[in-house]
Every structure is written in structure tokens, then in C-alpha cells.
């Protein structure tokens, strides 16, 4: 089962463009955490995200794209980074999230990734027809 661990650092919604972590001890601890997931064979991907002040949002009012550049005044929580892991259960994903050396202002949201197999048969058939060789829709082989 694949899960995405979403890092939500409170206060990051107001971070200036170009803001990056500068606490070497915290960065070192996070790199050790990432390495432990890699060594356990569960880490698929992980990255930090630049602050919303450098981002954009695309919405679709009336099904037409509208682009708004960051920062976003209405943002209460924003993503600071993510991990994608492959573990046997939700409990295992939560266990790995609890091992993160996060700070007091950080929260990790644990979300299971929808696999093609989670959808009804007709949706699976549409996916197979439209993307017969698209491997990113399928769970990676370990």
C-alpha cells in the first residue's frame, strides 16, 4: 500500500520567496530519517517544497482555468514537503510518520494513495485502455 506523508509546517504559508531550512541540526535529523526509510526499502520519493509565495494555484470556475500567483491570503495550512512510502498497512504508515524528527510547529498528514485497483472495474478498464503502458498508475514492484 502506498501512502503519502504530507509535512504541514505552520507559519510556512507566510514564508518569503526562497526560504529554505537553515537549522543544520534539524536538516541532518531529517536526512537521517529519510535514510532510515530508504534503508528499510519503503521510500519511493521525498522532497521539500518551496513556499507558497513562489507558487501558483489553478482553479476552474465555470470549467475555465484561472491562475493566481502566490502567496495565497486565504491559506491556513500549506505543504512544506512530502514522502511517498510503500508499507503493508495504514498503521505502518502512521508508525513511520511518528518517527519523523518534526518540530513543534509541524504536522504530518498520512494519506493512502488511490491505486487503480481501488476503482470500480469500469474505471479500471478505461485506465487500461487509455494508458496501457503507464506504470505510474500501478503500485511499484518492490
Q: Which domain holds residue 25?
A: 2-114
Q: Does some domain include residue 94? A: yes
Distances (CA, A) of 116 to 83, 111, 123: 20, 16, 8
Could you tell me how far CA 32 lies from the centroid of its own chain?
19
Mean pLDDT, residues 97-104 taken together: 96
Give the per-residue pLDDT at 117: 82
96 touches 43 (CB < 8 A): no
Residues with Cβ within 8 Å of 19's Cβ and at least 6 positions away in sequence, in order, are 12, 50, 51, 53
CATH number of the domain residue 51 falls in: 3.30.70.1060
Q: What angle do CA 117, 121, 127 make, to 5 degrees?
A: 70
Q: Does some domain include residue 128? A: no
Three-class DSSP category at 7: strand
Q: Does some domain include residue 120? A: no
Confidence band, pLDDT 50/70/90 cuts, at residue 137 = very low
Give me the count of residues in the chain: 142
Confidence band, pLDDT 50/70/90 cuts, at residue 63 = very high
Q: What is the DSSP letter of 140?
A: P
Percent of the chain with pLDDT over 70: 93
Domain count, the chain: 1
Confidence band, pLDDT 50/70/90 cuts, at residue 14 = confident
pTM: 0.82
d(CA 100, CA 120): 35
Please count the other Cβ atoms lying within 10 Å of the Cβ belonging to residue 93: 24
Dig out the grid coordinates for 131 from the structure.
494508458
Q: Does some domain include residue 46? A: yes
Amino acid at each position: 500500500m502506498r501512502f503519502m506523508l504530507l509535512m504541514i509546517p505552520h507559519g510556512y504559508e507566510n514564508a518569503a520567496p526562497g526560504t529554505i531550512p537553515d537549522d543544520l541540526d534539524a536538516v541532518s535529523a531529517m536526512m537521517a530519517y529519510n535514510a532510515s526509510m530508504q534503508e528499510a526499502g519503503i521510500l519511493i520519493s521525498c522532497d521539500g517544497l518551496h513556499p507558497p509565495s513562489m507558487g501558483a494555484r489553478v482553479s476552474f470556475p465555470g470549467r475555465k482555468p484561472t491562475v493566481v500567483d502566490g502567496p495565497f491570503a486565504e491559506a491556513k495550512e500549506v505543504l512544506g514537503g512530502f514522502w511517498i512510502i510503500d508499507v503493508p498497512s495504514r498503521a505502518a504508515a502512521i508508525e513511520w510518520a511518528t518517527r519523523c524528527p518534526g518540530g513543534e510547529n509541524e504536522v504530518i498528514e498520512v494519506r493512502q494513495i488511490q491505486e487503480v485497483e481501488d476503482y470500480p472495474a469500469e474505471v479500471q478498464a478505461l485506465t487500461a485502455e487509455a494508458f496501457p503502458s503507464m506504470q505510474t498508475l500501478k503500485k511499484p514492484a518492490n
